[in-house]
Amino acid sequence: MSSNELILSVENLSVGYDEVLVSNINLDLKSGEIIAIAGPSGIGKTTILRTVAGLVKPLAGTIDCNAPRRGGIGYIPQKLGLIRHTSVYHNVDLGARSGTPFWVEPLTWFKRRDTRVTDAVNRMGLIEKIDEPVRRLSGGQQRRVATARTLAQKPKLILADEFLSELDDENISIVLQAVREYMSESESAMILVEHNVKRASEISDRLFQVKDGKLVEYKLDDSEKHPITTNEDEVVQ
């Protein structure tokens, strides 16, 4: 596979529920690329992710994703959806199950899942916690479990909604390194929603903001000309 393979193509997309939140979205995403969407809450950032993930029906336009139907899109939600009374292994295995072809021989299927789980948990620096119930973990550790669950799918497209929140600087470095290594190995791509504009600009190859119902791209070396609003009172230059 080419390192510049097109993973996602979005044309004239409008997203929302009863009413349009963001309209006329046009976006191409290639393997190895990270796109960040920054800005205040309640303007449609998460709805864009959920629509691309297939969880919300688009109001208009098309989404063409070059990823396997089974496990090809990995979604890390802001509300983690972990099963708190079960182990780290069990939670990450849910991701491995969705990404492992079920038509292979049963023993091979279980071995593949186990390898995916162990690898993903190890990437997140949680191997010593693999048998611990999730409820005993800190908030930051639980967020790392959710990221491991997605990596265990082996997705071609990662959609991450505030997946670095509740993490200190050291753990942010661990998670980012693990995700970047996975992306390099798998030639996958990523769209992330991030309220921290400075962090978003440091992580991403391209930075966008939802403004006046449109997805607007900002050049990362041109932020002074195009300040990004993070809330009603703050503008990041």
**In this structure, is the dihedral angle defined by the CA atoms of residues 176, 177, 179 and 184, taken in order, positive or negative?**
positive
Question: What CA–CA distance (Å, rounded) separates 188 from 22?
Answer: 25
What CATH number has the domain spanning 1-67+156-237?
Answer: 3.40.50.300
CA distances (Å), origin 3, targets 32, 188, 206: 7, 9, 17
Model pLDDT for residues 161-183, shown as the tens digit of each residue: 999 987 888 889 989 999 999 99
- Whether the per-residue pLDDT at 41 is higher than 90: the answer is no
What's this model's pTM, rounded to 2 decimal places?
A: 0.85
CA angle at residue 230 from 188 to 217, to 5 degrees? 45
pLDDT at site 236: 37
pLDDT in tens, 54-97: 999 999 999 999 887 777 899 998 888 899 999 999 999 998 88
Which residues of the chain form CATH 3.40.50.300? Answer: 1-67+156-237
pLDDT at 235: 36
The residue among 214, 177, 209 whose CA lies nearest residue 193 is 209
Sheet holding 214-218, edge to edge: 73-76, 157-161, 189-193, 34-38, 206-211, 214-218
pLDDT range class, residue 113, cuts 50, 70, 90: confident
